Amino acid sequence: MLRLATVMGVGAVVGYAVESGNALLALIAVVAGIAILKLLESKTIVEDERTHLISGKASRVTLQIFGMVIAITGAIILALKNEMKCIGYTLAYLACVLLVVYLISYGYYSRKYA
């Protein structure tokens, strides 16, 4: 209940700050809200092997889908040869960066847990 009240309060303050054009007030409200939510966070951790397995599988599928979507979208934009060519190159490079980060982290964890 306190979490909901905190989120509602932060939302109200940020809404007021946006309406009045006060970016500092919005920033202070968000930081204060995060701090309050951290203080209200329960100290008990409810995780087991199943949770870690599901999280790992979900992360991997998300990474695969996102990588495929940005690579295909970048290739389509580049194939159209219009004024959005730089966006196509950006998406293609981001797909490459995503692949390199995945390969580095996979190599690290395969050595760590081997």
Q: What is the pLDDT of residues 53-99, one digit of tens each?
A: 899 899 999 999 999 999 999 999 999 888 888 999 999 999 999 99
Question: Which sequence spans correspond to the domains of the chain?
Answer: 2-40, 49-112
For 100-104, the CB contacts below 8 A with 24+ separation are 102/63, 102/67
Whole-angstrom distance, CA of residue 47 vs CA of residue 78? 44
On the question of pLDDT at 44 being above 70, the answer is no
Whole-angstrom distance, CA of residue 59 vs CA of residue 109? 15
**pLDDT confidence of residue 82:** 83
Q: Are 14 and 26 in contact (CB under 8 A)?
A: yes
Mean pLDDT of the chain: 89
DSSP 21: T
Rounded to an integer, the average pLDDT of 22-50 is 84
The model's pTM: 0.55
